[in-house]
């Protein structure tokens, strides 16, 4: 084999490498699927998911500025969402310091008040929650909630979420001692607002 042919093959092979993970799943679905699901949220102030991948330029400054290392960066395995920020709340939740909002150069994260953040909504799984099942008098989520008595109240010693005040920061999910077999907690964050249509 000539050296030139060898190098051309080498170059061609390397070019095809990024396509490998795409072949393992149905192509279009894996490229376009949004990574935002239960407990997988965008940083605070994010525009709806419909607009987010278009607006975000993947500069990673929110990741660099986050003092809690809550924000992680997706790579090419996330398809067109590669390079966008994501918070995995059961690993490290968002402490709502709002520093990422200050540095976002494209307005993908918009300047809003802490109390108006809607990253998602905490939803209690009453079949797993120790207080709801009646196993123990657990009130960890109530204690850890940054808006206690507003976002999470105790109703007959059982936690109840108020959707008018819950920011979806995930502190409750992070603190929840109950983990189900599928890895979810007894209280999970559902990114309801990310699925909203852009109204403007």
Q: Which residues bind other proteins (CB under 8 A)?
A: 4, 7-8, 10-11, 14-15, 17-18, 21, 32, 51, 53-61, 63-65, 67, 69, 72-73, 75-77, 80-83, 99, 103, 105-107
Residue pointed to by tokens 């809607």:
118
Contacts of 65 by beta carbon, 8 Å cutoff, 6+ apart: 99, 100, 102, 103
Minimum distance, C-beta of residue 72 to other proteins, in the bound complex (Å): 7
172 sits in which H/E element = helix 171-175
Minimum distance, C-beta of residue 122 to other proteins, in the bound complex (Å): 27
Q: Which is nearer to other proteins, 76 or 123 (CB)?
A: 76
Q: Which is nearer to other proteins, 103 or 180 (CB)?
A: 103
The answer to whether 170 and 41 are in contact (CB under 8 A) is: yes
Q: Which is nearer to other proteins, 75 or 143 (CB)?
A: 75
Minimum distance, C-beta of residue 187 to other proteins, in the bound complex (Å): 27
Q: Which is nearer to other proteins, 56 or 151 (CB)?
A: 56
User: Both ends of the chain: CA-CA distance in Å?
Assistant: 61
Tokens of 200: 């403007």
Q: 113: how many CB neighbours lie within 10 A of its CB?
A: 8
Minimum distance, C-beta of residue 143 to other proteins, in the bound complex (Å): 28
């Amino acid at each position: 084999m000539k050296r030139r042919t060898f190098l051309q093959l080498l170059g061609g092979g390397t070019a095809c490498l990024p396509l490998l993970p795409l072949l393992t799943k149905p192509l279009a679905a894996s490229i376009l699927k949004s990574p935002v699901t239960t407990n997988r949220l965008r940083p605070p102030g994010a525009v709806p998911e419909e607009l987010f991948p278009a607006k975000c330029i993947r500069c990673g400054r929110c990741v660099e500025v986050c003092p809690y290392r809550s924000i992680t960066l997706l790579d090419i395995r996330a398809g067109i969402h590669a390079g966008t920020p994501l918070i995995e709340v059961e690993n490290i939740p968002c402490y709502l310091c709002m520093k990422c909002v200050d540095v976002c150069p494209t307005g993908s994260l918009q300047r809003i008040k802490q109390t108006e953040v809607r990253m998602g909504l905490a939803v209690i799984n009453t079949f797993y929650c120790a207080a709801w099942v009646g196993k123990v008098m657990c009130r960890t989520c109530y204690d850890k909630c940054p808006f206690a008595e507003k976002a999470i109240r105790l109703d007959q010693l059982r936690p109840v979420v108020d959707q008018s005040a819950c920011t979806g920061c995930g502190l409750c999910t992070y603190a929840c001692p109950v983990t189900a077999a599928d890895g979810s907690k007894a209280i999970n964050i559902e990114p309801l607002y990310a699925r909203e249509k852009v109204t403007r």
